[in-house]
Structure 1
Amino acid sequence: MPGTVNKYGFKGNNLLLYFSLLVAVLATSYATVVLGPEKGVVVVMGLVALAVGIIAINNFVFAFYVSTLLSFFIFFIGRYLGDSMPSGYWIDLLILLSFSGLILHKVRLKEPFFYQAQHTITTIYILYTLFLVLEAFNPWMHSMAGWFLIFRKYIQFLMIYIIAINVFKDYRSTINYFKFWIGLSLIAGLYACYQQWFGFLPFEEAWIMNTPGRKGLYILVTGVSRRFSTFSDPAAFGIISAASFTFILVLLVSAEKFRTRLLLTVAAVFIILGVAFSGTRTAYFIIVAGVALYILMTITNKRTLVFASLFVLGFLVIMFGPIYGNATINRIRSTFEFSEDASLEVRDVNRAMIQPYIYRHPIGGGLATSGIQGLEYNPGHFLAGFPPDSGFVKTAVETGWVGLLLQCLIYLIALLAGVRAFYHTEDKKVKALILASVVCCFAFVIGQYGQVAIGQFPGCFLFYSCLALIVKSKYLQAENKNP
């Protein structure tokens, strides 16, 4: 007989779950005693994965939370195990299970698939999906495997977007997820501080030194090491943490309760320290861009004027204060000294060189044809090995100026929808969440100019959850009016 379902979706009388736990305990004990500790660990991991999978297919919300959690630490686990496990596949599987659980949930409730997801953002993403399907017939592309790799990842992002829309059932469930995200971001920031103050752990040091070319990217010529926390690399850590910082900053300035402001301040401090220690110039820049948008959207607010004054003062101190021996401060300053940035000059040269190719190929050279992916999937292609060094450039060379226009249209529509929702919302709490989401999405979009900022773990969960929040904002607003 089915039991009651609580607000998180768990069934109170689930005999299958209890039986699975009993079997897991017995099997773990047997494996540890009979097979030995090492094989016992493998059995334990397999049983945990099986249990999580069973729960996930029955509870898509649980699976969404677990996949978000795993995306923060999967690279750390991979480094600890010596890159002996295909880390990304575990998250892929969890997202797929969550999406499958969502479909089953809708079938049981006889609910339309796009319930409360009918929005211009959803429509433009569906159109972009059709465009990527047509890219499979790009005559310049040599590998269908490369196309499938990129298309599969894109579909995964759409799954995150659709799942998030359904996870955000009301204001409480929405704010709970972002509290969860902020907590994980704080842990990542704290660990980056640990790496900065106490150094890398032995297995992290070995991971850096054992791969050709990695040492030069992670340890600068000045001798300063770039910190990456639990993420895949310093650039991903810096950009995703910077976007999270802008999200937290908006909530911090908007918060009314002292306890909330205190907790958000602690999180913001350690996250911004992590961003600084990552040595990622793009991350420094997108914080300034995100704050600038926040100030423009709330310029008539007294708190905004005070915050803007303090932010500008702090920025001027960092840029022109009498601090000369701090390597982190010097790298931040170099971000805004464009004329002296050698790496920026190299990128400008590469972009100028590739522009004629983009003009001649309106649908690009095909998916997975540039950079390292091009060398792996499309060797001999004109773009193979070409370093895009930018999300926009990668889109332009692989999907042409048509694809670039579509991508820019997606970002424009999303930001305009967010701005419109912000000005049409009266509830202060929902209004703050919308504003934080708009500023965060804008930070990611700006980051696309310098790096491939959108689409990396765990940042894809934040970006597409912010889009989902914008889509659901009118429903959250209505529910708050009639609690």
Structure 2
Amino acid sequence: MNASLRSYDEKVPFLVASIISTLLLVLLIPVVGVLAPVMLMLTGGAIVLLIIILKNPFNGLMSLLVYCFVVVFIEREIDGFPLNYGVELLYFVVFVSIIANINKYKLALLNNDLCILFAIWFVISFLQLFNPSGASPRGWLHEIRTSGLDSFFLTLSGFLIFKSKKHLNSFLYIIIGLSLLATLDGVKQLHFGLFPGEQNFLLNSPSHLVWGKIRVFSLYGDAGQFGASQAHLSVICGVLALGPFKIWKRIALFVLSIVFFYGMLISGTRGAFFALLPGIFMAIFLFKNIKVLLLGTLFTLVFLGGLKYTHIGSSNYHVFRLRTALNPEDPSLNVRFSNQERLSKYMKDYPFGGGLGVIGYAGHEYNPGLIFATVEPDSYWVKVWAMYGIVGFTFWFCMMMYIIGKSSGIVWRIKDKDLRVKLIALAAGFTGIIACSYGNEVINAFPSSIIVYFSMVFVFLGPQLDENNDKLINQI
């Protein structure tokens, strides 16, 4: 009887949604005509997704992950729809779902270094609203999510919601699958042409055409984000290919690593190369295996030497452009150094920075009168320096170095070999993105940001996952 009642209770929300949808269809057809069924399907799908998320917050985080991969593409093709606000909406729905299920979680799990550090960083970001430099509050509002809220919300919700190795596996399957979809879309852009929205984006972004060649941007906001994300996944899959898994899985992962490396190449983003190298060295370091250390170091040095001191493959445009990443005389690199030198003269009088939204797009849009807006950051590190000052940047940099160091210690103590390799892959991946963000704004943009913060959470949850095997680690 109880089982049948539970089954009935589970069906009630879907029954109510069906009745509401039918009534809406009857009311909408006379008003909007044939678009009514389409609108209703979308509304019905949203209602069903809402119910699924409210019943299980994990579905909300995975929906958010998927959304962050595709939102820019959809927004580009459906011009005029501000779909980026869907991120905040999903944050709110996940938050409500957590509150509704709060009795199921061990809140003590939030008492950890990662949550504390990002909570402090969020408070610092919030206090920047009162920065005396005179920056616009609208600029602060535009910047607060990517600068402080994302890391705070995603890490706290991750610690509460992620419960098992199955959740870790689901996360890996989703990011690898969607990144492969992005690679395929990039190949389509390069060899088969662009969708209308992509064509319009290219017309308004001349930097994505170099020497008459397209810098592939795929589903993402720009080629820099696409290239860095592909390098990130190349590292993850390459490390996983070394794991104690079935041979066909290892071969498949190795092939995927090469495919993602190709995706990085066609992006034309030289900075993405510096997500690859630190990631590889971090993985070699974490394996603590002399054989892997020697072979990995030798392979990397030979690869770098081939790029730096030979002309092998230079007839291919993408290889030629990648090779310029190792040229210290590259004009683009020197422009960035020049901008940093200009900014350093202003920063002497701003130890706490100019405030959120004073540089980059938000600077041009909301603070055009401030001196910071006249300098292009071209780097997330530089952006943090300009917004938070040397004091804030020092805290952020030390926080990132601490997270990388603490992650190393956690990974080395993991006994489960499968789990250890997966955590090495995640730690190497986010180390590469942190390093790569010196040359581009990567860690503050989707999907890299959500992958990085969830990766950090899984690494810090490593000891509990290791001890509890497949048991739930944070449910009462």
Query: Per chain length, whose mean CA-contact separation is higher, i.e. which structure has more relative contact order (CA < 8 Å, sep 6+)?
Result: 2
Pair 1:142-2:135 in alignment = yes
Q: Aligned to 1:89, which of 85, 88, 103?
A: 85
Q: How many Å apart are 1:321 and its aligned residue?
A: 4.6
Pair 1:130-2:130 in alignment = no
Distance change (3 Å), C-alpha of 1:116 and 1:12 = farther
Q: Aligned to 2:152, which of 149, 153, 158?
A: 158
- Note if contact 1:32-1:41 (Cα within 8 Å) is conserved in structure 2: no
Q: Aligned to 2:238, which of 218, 238, 249?
A: 249
Q: How many Å apart are 1:136 and its aligned residue?
A: 1.9
Q: How many Å apart are 1:313 and its aligned residue?
A: 4.1
Mean CA deviation greater in 24-33 or 226-235:
24-33
- Note if contact 2:58-2:162 (Cα within 8 Å) is conserved in structure 1: no
| 2:86 partner SS | helix
Matching residue of 2:59:
62
Q: Which runs of 5+ in 1 are unaligned?
A: none
| 1:426 partner SS | coil
Distance 1:95 1:260 in 2: 34
The 5-angstrom pairing of residues 297-336 of structure 1 reads: 297-298=286-287, 300-319=289-308, 320-336=310-326
Matching residue of 1:374:
363
Q: How many Å apart are 1:20 and its aligned residue?
A: 4.4
Matching residue of 1:189:
183
- Note if contact 1:364-1:401 (Cα within 8 Å) is conserved in structure 2: yes
Matching residue of 2:280:
291
Distance 1:138 1:16 in 2: 51
Pair 1:100-2:93 in alignment = no
TM-score by length of 1: 0.90
Distance 2:141 2:409 in 1: 36
Distance change (3 Å), C-alpha of 1:270 and 1:33 = farther
Matching residue of 1:453:
442
- Note if contact 1:367-1:398 (Cα within 8 Å) is conserved in structure 2: yes
Pair 1:234-2:223 in alignment = yes
Distance change (3 Å), C-alpha of 1:449 and 1:174 = same
Q: Aligned to 2:43, which of 42, 46, 50?
A: 46
Distance 2:444 2:219 in 1: 17
Distance change (3 Å), C-alpha of 1:96 and 1:47 = same
| 1:360 partner SS | coil
Matching residue of 2:166:
172
Pair 1:417-2:406 in alignment = yes
How many residue pairs get aligned? The number is 469
Q: How many Å apart are 1:72 and its aligned residue?
A: 1.1
Pair 1:72-2:69 in alignment = yes
Distance change (3 Å), C-alpha of 1:231 and 1:326 = same
Mean CA deviation greater in 31-40 or 148-157:
31-40
Q: How many Å apart are 1:342 and its aligned residue?
A: 0.4
Q: Which runs of 5+ in 2 are unaligned?
A: none
Distance change (3 Å), C-alpha of 1:382 and 1:166 = same
Distance change (3 Å), C-alpha of 1:124 and 1:4 = farther
Mean CA deviation greater in 400-409 or 251-260:
251-260
Distance change (3 Å), C-alpha of 1:474 and 1:141 = farther
| 1:169 partner SS | coil
| 1:54 partner SS | helix
- Note if contact 2:17-2:44 (Cα within 8 Å) is conserved in structure 1: no
- Note if contact 1:418-1:438 (Cα within 8 Å) is conserved in structure 2: yes
Matching residue of 1:198:
192
TM-score by length of 2: 0.91
Matching residue of 1:407:
396
Q: Give, as a single letter, the amino acid of the residue that structure 2 aligns with 1:57.
A: L
Distance 1:196 1:305 in 2: 37
Q: How many Å apart are 1:185 and its aligned residue?
A: 1.1
Q: Give, as a single letter, the amino acid of the residue that structure 2 aligns with 1:163.
A: S
Distance 2:367 2:381 in 1: 20
Distance 1:164 1:410 in 2: 19
Mean CA deviation greater in 470-479 or 36-45:
36-45
- Note if contact 1:2-1:13 (Cα within 8 Å) is conserved in structure 2: no
